[in-house]
A = this chain, B = another copy of it.
């Protein structure tokens, strides 16, 4: 099952780490640490093998992958000489990357993406291509009536004004080209009724939003712990310090608001009430690809006794996100092959703000994922 993985934001840190990591795994140069689909509980015949993945993608910048890889190695994200060890394969991926189209009406740019996708699929003889958005976080777009109506959206796109943010244009193009779409960012992506209708028209599955890689991952196990123990969380305050490209983007108030919203949702939905406190994102360039999150939780136990916990998470976003990008591409491809269409709510395990209403507790999400994958593998749900 030859599977294309088309990365939107293909020259960024996450995409570059995904690509080099997949090449290194294929070459037996590294272990699949961080790859959920390589766990014994999920591994199996329905998923495309790592050797079956073919990478391509769009980006608005032109930095060569080797250059980005050097920066990632200097920052401690990639082992020093890993990119060299997979240089020929990396050159093939470089050749498959395309500049993001910038000319003409929105419809023209979408058509150009559709063309790139179909050419990529045909040239590499792929069974299917999964489009994965790993580009920088966008601000939420202004509401527009065409977001709710596919014919109206078609009309609007032919005009000169952009009613869709880039992530949604890519979703539109993916569906038009017959490709499943995954949004790893908090951007709008396929989250518009008109795009859901388009996916439905083409019988395609899609997944999102916002990969759960750090503070929210911890919230999704700690908040259920407090709930299961009937402890009353009084406040939950979080500070996220991050450098890297995403840090600079998220320092923009509009993008920040989008991100922070999806970060707090897990608390209200898991606990059944919203504790005091808020989540902050601050840009500290010097932290590079690493991120430090600090959270303070104050809570009451029996007879109202006040207690507290703090945690510090010092993670490398690219190293946490990249293997999940591979997981999502493989799982979405397998779902597509199995005839699934519409939102893949069973993939909530991977997301801060998952499509559908499946709850945010990681343990529950894991059980749902395990059953889903078992179904794909043709076995009875365990």
Chain A positions near chain B (C-beta within 8 angstroms): 17, 20-21, 24, 30-36, 38-39, 76-80, 82, 217-218, 221-222, 224-225, 228-232, 234-235, 237, 239, 241, 276-278, 280, 282, 284-287, 290, 292, 294, 296, 298, 300-316, 319-320, 322-323, 349, 361-364, 366
Closest to A363 in B: B363
In the complex with contacts A76-B76, A276-B286, A307-B315 CB distance below 8 A: yes
Question: Most B CB atoms within 10 A — which of A228, A235, A300?
Answer: A228
Cβ 8 A contact of A284, one of B221, B224, B277, B285: B277
What would 14 A/B residue contacts be, using CB atoms closer than 8 Å?
A: A34-B230, A76-B305, A218-B222, A221-B221, A230-B323, A235-B284, A237-B239, A278-B282, A287-B298, A301-B315, A302-B320, A307-B315, A362-B363, A363-B366
Q: Which residues of B contact A286 (CB under 8 A)?
A: 234-235, 276, 298
CB distance from A302 to the nearest CB of B (A): 4
CA distance A221 to B363 in the complex (A): 9
CB pair A309 B314 closer than 8 Å: yes
In the complex with contacts A234-B286, A278-B282, A319-B294 CB distance below 8 A: no
Cβ 8 A contact of A363, one of B33, B230, B285, B361: B361
In the complex with contacts A363-B363, A366-B228, A309-B311 CB distance below 8 A: yes
Can you tell how many copies of this chain the complex includes? 4
CB pair B319 A307 closer than 8 Å: yes
Cβ 8 A contact of A302, one of B17, B76, B225: B17
Q: Which residues of B contact A309 (CB under 8 A)?
A: 218, 311-315
CB distance from A277 to the nearest CB of B (A): 5
CB distance from A296 to the nearest CB of B (A): 6
CB pair A301 B319 closer than 8 Å: yes
CB pair A230 B32 closer than 8 Å: yes
CB pair A303 B39 closer than 8 Å: no
Closest to A18 in B: B302
CB distance from A304 to the nearest CB of B (A): 7
Q: Which residues of B contact A232 (CB under 8 A)?
A: 31, 33
CA distance A272 to B225 in the complex (A): 22
CB distance from A42 to the nearest CB of B (A): 9
CB pair B311 A311 closer than 8 Å: yes
